[in-house]
Each structure stands twice: as structure tokens, then as C-alpha cells.
Structure 1
């Protein structure tokens, strides 16, 4: 399983990259300012969201504020074309695998990208560390 990290060179993207390296997760990183996501790639990301474009658009970003558009009035295709032209509209990073999505860097949630066996082993190790009877 290869994970894609779509970021903008921000600290959250750097944290995600560091976490992937430390946990030996295979990933490909892409700076979306230099190489914006295509409309097709955006559609693939959206199929993994719960709240559609609300999950990936940064309403606090400068481009979002400057545009003064009613994004709800746009068709999905129009909106995706605008995002392609203005990648800074996206939250960063967007971390994607075949069936998993994480928007932003969240230390607990990023564990979903570990292989199941690794997650299970770490969970068992954590339980042993935290629930061993105290000897005395």
C-alpha cells in the first residue's frame, strides 16, 4: 500500500512526512502548489470524504477569503476546476491511500495508514505496558 501526501510545504505536511518515515510507511509526497491536483484526482479524494468539499477546502485560506464566491452556487465541476487553479484553497496535508483519507496532520488518526498487523502489535504492546500488574 502506497500512501500519497498532498501538501503545501507547511509544518503539518512535514510532520506527516516525518511520521511516515519513522513508521516505515511507503509514501509519495507531492507539493500541490507546484503540481496541482487534477480534477480527476480531486474526484477520487472526494469519494473518500464524509462531507464532500467541506472536508478539504480551507475556508480560512487567503484565496478563499479573496474570491468572495458563493461556493454553494457552483457546480461540482466548476468548483473542482477552481481548486485545480487555486490549490491553496485546500487544507494541507491531504493524506490518501486506496481506501483511507486524512485531512490535516493528527497524530492519532494517522495510525490508520499502518498495516493492520503493525497496529495490532502496537496495541498489544501498549496494553502490556499499561496494564501489567504491579509487582510488589
Structure 2
């Protein structure tokens, strides 16, 4: 299964995620969302994968968020989707997902969920063996 990796070139976390997938030989398709913004349908697909909706993917610290004076409590979902498609820098990065998992931002522990189950099981066995010594 191929992981989708949405990045921006100037983002250090995006570079870390890309390196992690390469180091662990996990196939991924990278897309620089600044150079190739998401369509409204792609934004909707991302939102369906989130647990908390827009809170999970919107960067309230982004300069554009302040410039646009977005009030997440009053803006409609359809308006926000349009804004994200127009201003991809509203999104937190990197965004990594496959058919079952979604991760926003780089986190050394959480990214391991993309490892194949068998690999995770082998690593747990090694940890248990070390603890038993």
C-alpha cells in the first residue's frame, strides 16, 4: 500500500517524513501542495479521514490564517474547503495517509503506524527480549 505524503519544500517536518519513509522502504507518493494545491474534492477526502474535522488539518498559526481573519466557529465547511483549495498554506504539514491511517505533522512515534504489521511485531519482540535480559 502506498502512502500519500502532502508536503511543502520549505517545511522541516516534511523533509523528516520523506526521509523516514525512504529509510524504512515504505512506498509513498509525495505531492508538494504549495506547487500543486488540492482540489476541493481532495480537501473533502482529507476531512473524512480526520477525527476532529478542520481542527486536525488547519494551521491557525499560519500567516494566511490571520490575514484572512478566519473564524472557525462561524465559517461554513464549504467556505473553508474553498479557502483551503485556494490557500494550501492553511494546512498543517506534512499530511500522511493511506486507506486506513492519517497523520498530521511529523511525530517519530506516531509515524511508526505506517510500518507493516509484521515489522512492528518483530520490533516488539526485540524490545521484549531486551527487557527480559
Range of TM-score over shorter length? over 0.9
How far residue 15 of structure 1 moved from its aligned partner, in angstroms, is 0.3
CA root-mean-square deviation: 1.0
Per-residue CA distance 1:39-85 (angstroms, 9 max, x = gap): 11111111111110000000000000111132332221111010000
Residue 22 (structure 2) pairs with residue 21 (structure 1): yes
Which residue of the partner structure matches residue 73 of structure 1? Answer: 74
- Matches for 1:34-45 after TM superposition, within 5 Å: 34-45=35-46
Task: Name the TM-score, length of structure 1 as normaliser.
Answer: 0.93
Which residue of the partner structure matches residue 2 of structure 2? Answer: 2
SS of aligned partner of 2:73: helix
Gaps of 5+ in 2: none
Deviating beyond 6 angstroms after TM superposition, the runs of 4 or more aligned structure 1 residues are none
Which residue of the partner structure matches residue 113 of structure 2? Answer: 112
Greater Rg over alpha carbons, structure? 1
How far residue 19 of structure 1 moved from its aligned partner, in angstroms, is 0.4
Q: Output the CA distance in 1 between the equivalents of 2:62 and 2:70.
A: 13
Task: Name the TM-score, length of structure 2 as normaliser.
Answer: 0.95
SS of aligned partner of 1:71: coil
How far residue 125 of structure 1 moved from its aligned partner, in angstroms, is 1.3
- May I ask how many residue pairs the two structures share in their alignment? 132
Gaps of 5+ in 1: none
Which residue of the partner structure matches residue 83 of structure 1? Answer: 84
